Structure 1
Amino acid sequence: MADSLKIRGTLKSWTKLWCVLKPGVLLIYKTPKVGQWVGTVLLHCCELIERPSKKDGFCFKLFHPLDQSVWAVKGPKGESVGSITQPLPSSYLIFRAASESDGRCWLDALELALRCSSLLRLSTCKQGRDGEQGSSPDASPSSLYGLPTSTTIPDQDLFPLNGSALRNHLENDAFSDKSERENAEDSDADTQDHSRKTNESGSDPLDSPGGPRRGTTYVEQVQEELGELGETSQVETVSEENKSLMWVLLRQLRPGMDLSRVVLPTFVLEPRSFLSKLSDYYYHGDLLSRAATEEDPYCRMKLVLRWYLSGFYKKPKGIKKPYNPILGETFRCRWLHPQTNSHTFYIAEQVSHHPPVSAFYVSNRKDGFSMSGSITAKSRFYGNSLSALLDGKAKLTFLNRKEEYTLTMPYAHCRGILYGTMTMELGGKVTIACEKNNLQAELDFKLKPFFGSSTSINQISGKITSGEEVLARLTGHWDRDVFIKEEGGGGTEVFWTPSEEVRRQRLKLHTVLLEEQTELESERLWQHVTRAIREGDQHKATQEKSVLEEAQRQRAREHQQSLTPWKPQLFHLDPLTQEWRYRYENHSPWDPLKDIAEYEQDGILHTLQRETMSGQTTFLGSPVSRHKRPGPDRRLRKASDQPSGHSQVTESSGSTPESCPDLSDEDFIPGSESPCPRCRQEAHRLRMLQEAVLSIQEAQQELHRHLSAMLNSTVRARQPSAPSLLQNPRSWFLLCIFLTCQLFINYILK
């Protein structure tokens, strides 16, 4: 189908362009000669709604539900730059047809093209899997239009973050035409109004402040400092200027002193918060995704152990300490899993300042795992060395298996403060235990001996046990190669190595857009200190850091004066287990028939479900709504994920709806009304029964957890105290022997 349509640009002015509709794409040209290409709209990621208008003609809108770009990177003939025209929006396009009949025809044709995009993606995936020898790389449909391959398109991008955002497109889009009518008339001379710029409300509704909130906007972090492997990045030579500052600081310290209240100079600070530091363990979260689907418990434990080791090789250059988080400080980020088209969300909050406690929660329900825990940072000064202890536990849960793994953390040890070379190491014994499978992994992070060589730094040893039986032993270096030797046969194999290939497989980190961060969010809170440290201005960094610390003391004084205790926003302390738990945690398994996508808004994790979307929007295409002006609840047209029964679209320039093929969409629309009322009633009854059973199971598990905690506390209270020295028979026996020997010696001496 091809015809001229008016398209509204970013400057609120209209221009007439030639639009050619193909299966899966909408080609836009400057003239009907199809020579001056403007752009290609990818329909597989778009949704279609009718846009009410008080002007002549018929308006409709194509938009991306996640506010991403809808344009292809190249043209149908490989063009990289389109023809010069007025700037067009990146995430949506508003079209105007000459008459309502033409607009209805375009709606029906676009709806069919949206469905054909599903067939296009399926056929492209099939061609990529088959890999026929006689096929040409340019023979795929996607290559004809310069489209990316289908494997690079996440399925979750086809769905909006919430139903309210879609309704916002329907409700708020009507205001832009009204404001345009008040400020400017629609001109048929399309290029005359390109420079006109209005101040009325005509922007995309998702960005309007009065509309419903959508999911948090995340941006990819391109730059990342991994540090060098080995001892190089863990050794630092202090300059003479900084040595004088350290001596002033060391005069205030005593051996065994807690350093949590000591203000450190800024030259030893790593330019990021400790809450961000704790997120280093999830750049290889795809290992947990694999572990969640692994059937063998022993292989599952090895994958968890491999993931645990993957969080240590990222190190700052030199000896650096992250910022101490401010009370109430939060940090949010996520990682994209390209293999499963899912996201791992990380949410952390500083829930206590004295002692400093950092609570965090990690979730990827689609891949079947979550993690929660809290870390209490403690530090001790020993004269020429100091240690930073991370007291606390983390619990990894595989949702589909109801399996929990309890993990502990090593401590950081810095030596050479007064004399020698300053070196940072990791030390201590850690455990990863799964009580359900009776499996446990033990790792011993060894400190470098006093007379040890360079190969003895960062050494690690450990074992995997099942009860008392040792299944495997591990040796190596925690920032380099780790080897495993299975008991009962077999040689030594490489268990984990942070090679260049492994580093390239790190998941891409996305952080919250700075404009959407709150005042107490890590990146925004410490931005001035971070900028000063990276510019080398230690004086300014110290000043900015003092401003934040004074603001924290002022907030503490205000809470004391108002007699209202401070409460964390995202976490709460369990009174029975004395553990910090995320307020909005969801440990229910992922239901692919019900759940669509997991998203985060204001630190709260939500799950978009099909029932929620069908309750807020009605998919067009049913016989009742076809060729009729939709009401407020019947405006949304959405691409189906199921293939259509029609294999191609007939190009037509007709302007009547009758020229479009008559389709039946009930096979394509999820949540559409079943033709059998009895079947629909039975399905509803079974769904309600399943939800009731799941809620009962969750209540039983919660009750079991509370009863276990109460039983443990009762046992500890009733546990008899250890017998005293005089009540021990062994002590009386040794005393008798001692007296006998004493008498014998006295007798001999006489």
Structure 2
Amino acid sequence: MQPGVEAVVQISKLDEGNNLPHRLKTQPKVGPMVKQRRKKIPEKPNQSLSLWSIIKNCIGKELSRIPMPVNFNEPLSMLQRLTEDVFYSDLLNMAAQCDDTCEEMAYVAAFITSAYAETSVRTTKPFNPLLGETFECDRMDDLGWRAISEQVSHHPPAAAFHVESKDWTLWMETTISSKFRGKYLQIFPQGTAHISFKKSGSHYTYTRVTVTVHNIIVGKLWVDQSGECELLNHTTKDVCRLNFKPTSYFSRDVPRKVTGVIMDGNNTAKYVLSGTWDKKMECAEVQNITIEKSGRGKPVYNCGATKVLWQRNPPMPNCELMYNFNELAVTMNEPDDDVAPTDSRNRPDQRLMEDGYWDEANQEKLRLEDKQRSKRKKRESEAALAAEAGKPYEGYRPVWFERRMDQITKSMAYTYKGDYWGCKEKQEWNICPDIF
């Protein structure tokens, strides 16, 4: 099916016997080596501040340059929020066991969709990471993966992210730009994400869709996702274009709807995907294709029984008192003495906010931003002196990632160097900058 061409899908009755086979198993493994993690955080204080009073003079500006009080934040950094993308990592585990690459792609598509689920109830803003800030999340003992991320650029803000499991690897560099349009805020993620599987040899890339925050001025904030996400298997040339349809009061579509068709390397439809990014994703295998006789001659996909690939986990008890965090988010900011000194857990403003000291958190936030600004001015001064003397100036270099040519996209991107976990084992953090 060509891009932009609609199709009619005819699906047989739901396969009741296989209605929910592959949900994330939230119960941790039992054993002496599994780390005990917290299940709650301090309740959110009852404080409020008008968002409009802060950004009413910022229409059309880049919001990453506007200082915002912690009142609009949640006590997590953007690096930690990025790590939440792998909350439903069990979908990648299922994909890794597939013998058919088109079925494998169906689970990957469900995984991509699941990454947006929390935004339906999380309208708070994560902390903008400081340049050189890192975050590690080691869940090898119970979830089977570990992740490291680093803020590699400040203007434009960019983060590099790397996750490894025994069966798959995920990595990306992401840059986020945003614009305030008056009644709504749009966030545009840029950069390519990669997933590779050891068993099949499949190498996937995909991009992220536009995020829109509505009711900035009046009313209750709500978040929508819209746009097309192209998922491509570079090994087999299988492709899936996930269409995130914008929510509209005038549309007959189900709100937050996501659809897609998986095409193999011969451009033959194999699976039809349908669901919503906040609840679940289903798939059905295409049995035959006919052409609609009337209208525009759309292809009609006659499919077998549907199967639920992913369904969102139920919310935690009293989660509305804890910023609507899920089970993974609650554990992310738990203090840990073994992580790098640049880890988001060590941010004093974020820690104060989690503990309920918002006034003190705002003071610390200003101090850290001033410290970062002073360092940037020093680098600019050094660059000017080097240029005056006709000498090269290297500028800031990330610690755990380096800029290399991406052989898939043929563009420069930050790639994990592979040193972090060895340094953690030895507790050698002397190469970390002083940012807090």
**TM-score with structure 2 setting the length:** 0.72
In the other structure, the counterpart of 2:74 is 270
- CA deviation string 1:380-433 (max 9, x = no partner): 111111111111111111134432100211222011123444221222211221
Change (3 A) 1:346 1:300: same
Is the partner of 2:411 in helix, strand or coil?
coil
**1:485 Cα shift?**
3.0
Partners of 1:221 and 1:511 within 8 A in 2: no
In structure 1, C-alpha distance between the alignment counterparts of 2:255 and 2:335, rounded to whole Å: 39
In structure 2, C-alpha distance between the alignment counterparts of 1:511 and 1:533, rounded to whole Å: 9
Is the partner of 1:449 in helix, strand or coil?
coil
In structure 2, C-alpha distance between the alignment counterparts of 1:471 and 1:604, rounded to whole Å: 46
**Is 1:602 equivalent to 2:432 in the alignment?**
no
Which structure 2 residues correspond to residues 132-171 of structure 1 after superposition, within 5 A?
Answer: 152-153=30-31
**1:273 Cα shift?**
0.5
In the other structure, the counterpart of 1:34 is none
In structure 2, C-alpha distance between the alignment counterparts of 1:548 and 1:508, rounded to whole Å: 24
Partners of 2:333 and 2:345 within 8 A in 1: no
In the other structure, the counterpart of 1:348 is 149
Partners of 2:39 and 2:330 within 8 A in 1: no
Change (3 A) 1:295 1:502: farther
The answer to which structure has the higher helix fraction is: 1
**1:493 Cα shift?**
3.5
Structure 2 residue aligned with 1:465, among 260, 263, 277? 263
In structure 1, C-alpha distance between the alignment counterparts of 2:314 and 2:350, rounded to whole Å: 32
**Is 1:222 equivalent to 2:29 in the alignment?**
no
- CA deviation string 1:101-142 (max 9, x = no partner): xxxxxxxxxxxxxxxxxxxxxxxxxxxxxxxxxxxxxxxxxx
Partners of 1:441 and 1:464 within 8 A in 2: yes
**1:264 Cα shift?**
2.1
Structure 1 residue aligned with 2:58, among 253, 261, 264? 253
Change (3 A) 1:287 1:604: farther
In the other structure, the counterpart of 1:479 is 278
- CA deviation string 1:431-470 (max 9, x = no partner): 22102112112212222214458x8432222221224322
In the other structure, the counterpart of 1:402 is 201
**Is 1:517 equivalent to 2:339 in the alignment?**
yes
In structure 2, C-alpha distance between the alignment counterparts of 1:472 and 1:299, rounded to whole Å: 8
Change (3 A) 1:354 1:311: same
Change (3 A) 1:572 1:318: closer
In structure 2, C-alpha distance between the alignment counterparts of 1:351 and 1:519, rounded to whole Å: 16
In the other structure, the counterpart of 2:412 is 578
In structure 1, C-alpha distance between the alignment counterparts of 2:424 and 2:229, rounded to whole Å: 30
Change (3 A) 1:153 1:415: closer
In structure 2, give the amino acid aligned to 1:601. Answer: G
Change (3 A) 1:512 1:584: farther
**1:221 Cα shift?**
3.2
In structure 1, give the amino acid aligned to 2:342. Answer: L
**1:242 Cα shift?**
2.0
Is the partner of 1:602 in helix, strand or coil?
helix
In structure 1, C-alpha distance between the alignment counterparts of 2:329 and 2:73, rounded to whole Å: 26
More displaced stretch, 290-299 vs 406-415: 290-299
**1:260 Cα shift?**
2.0
In the other structure, the counterpart of 2:371 is 551
Partners of 2:284 and 2:307 within 8 A in 1: yes
In structure 1, give the amino acid aligned to 2:396. Answer: W
Partners of 1:533 and 1:541 within 8 A in 2: no
Structure 2 residue aligned with 1:531, among 340, 352, 364? 352
User: Greater relative contact order (Cα 8 A, min sep 6): structure 1 or 2?
Assistant: 2
Is the partner of 1:280 in helix, strand or coil?
helix
**1:337 Cα shift?**
5.6
In structure 1, give the amino acid aligned to 2:421. Answer: E
In structure 1, give the amino acid aligned to 2:62. Answer: D
In the other structure, the counterpart of 2:388 is none
In structure 2, C-alpha distance between the alignment counterparts of 1:329 and 1:538, rounded to whole Å: 21
In structure 2, C-alpha distance between the alignment counterparts of 1:483 and 1:422, rounded to whole Å: 28
Change (3 A) 1:547 1:515: same
Partners of 1:332 and 1:512 within 8 A in 2: no
In structure 2, C-alpha distance between the alignment counterparts of 1:464 and 1:221, rounded to whole Å: 39
Partners of 1:335 and 1:509 within 8 A in 2: no
Partners of 1:283 and 1:335 within 8 A in 2: no
Is the partner of 1:373 in helix, strand or coil?
strand
**1:581 Cα shift?**
0.7
**1:509 Cα shift?**
6.2
- CA deviation string 1:41-67 (max 9, x = no partner): xxxxxxxxxxxxxxxxxxxxxxxxxxx
Partners of 1:461 and 1:474 within 8 A in 2: yes
**Is 1:301 equivalent to 2:102 in the alignment?**
no
Change (3 A) 1:577 1:495: same
Quick check: which has more Rg, 1 or 2? 1
Q: Which runs of 5+ in 1 are unaligned?
A: 1-150, 158-217, 226-237, 586-598, 606-750
**1:277 Cα shift?**
0.6
Is the partner of 1:579 in helix, strand or coil?
strand
Partners of 1:219 and 1:510 within 8 A in 2: no
Change (3 A) 1:361 1:603: farther
Partners of 1:362 and 1:370 within 8 A in 2: yes
**Is 1:324 equivalent to 2:164 in the alignment?**
no
Which structure 2 residues correspond to residues 279-294 of structure 1 after superposition, within 5 A?
Answer: 279-294=83-98
Structure 2 residue aligned with 1:242, among 36, 39, 49? 49
**1:328 Cα shift?**
0.4
Is the partner of 1:402 in helix, strand or coil?
coil
Is the partner of 1:532 in helix, strand or coil?
helix
- CA deviation string 1:508-527 (max 9, x = no partner): 967885323333211102x4
In structure 2, give the amino acid aligned to 1:221. Answer: R
In the other structure, the counterpart of 1:724 is none
In structure 1, C-alpha distance between the alignment counterparts of 2:93 and 2:311, rounded to whole Å: 19
**Identity over aligned residues, as a percent?**
24
Change (3 A) 1:505 1:512: closer
Partners of 2:106 and 2:273 within 8 A in 1: no
Is the partner of 2:192 in helix, strand or coil?
strand
In structure 2, C-alpha distance between the alignment counterparts of 1:314 and 1:422, rounded to whole Å: 14
In the other structure, the counterpart of 1:678 is none
Partners of 2:212 and 2:223 within 8 A in 1: yes
In structure 1, C-alpha distance between the alignment counterparts of 2:425 and 2:413, rounded to whole Å: 19
In structure 2, C-alpha distance between the alignment counterparts of 1:501 and 1:266, rounded to whole Å: 24
**1:249 Cα shift?**
2.5
Is the partner of 1:490 in helix, strand or coil?
strand
In structure 1, C-alpha distance between the alignment counterparts of 2:141 and 2:336, rounded to whole Å: 23
Is the partner of 1:514 in helix, strand or coil?
coil
In structure 2, C-alpha distance between the alignment counterparts of 1:476 and 1:278, rounded to whole Å: 23
In structure 2, C-alpha distance between the alignment counterparts of 1:257 and 1:379, rounded to whole Å: 8
In structure 2, give the amino acid aligned to 1:464. Answer: I
- CA deviation string 1:466-486 (max 9, x = no partner): 243222222221111323232
In structure 1, give the amino acid aligned to 2:49. Answer: N
In structure 2, C-alpha distance between the alignment counterparts of 1:511 and 1:269, rounded to whole Å: 14
In structure 1, C-alpha distance between the alignment counterparts of 2:371 and 2:193, rounded to whole Å: 31
**1:324 Cα shift?**
0.8
The answer to which structure has the higher strand fraction is: 2
- CA deviation string 1:558-603 (max 9, x = no partner): 3334446211000111156311111128xxxxxxxxxxxxx92336
Change (3 A) 1:410 1:515: same
- CA deviation string 1:21-44 (max 9, x = no partner): xxxxxxxxxxxxxxxxxxxxxxxx
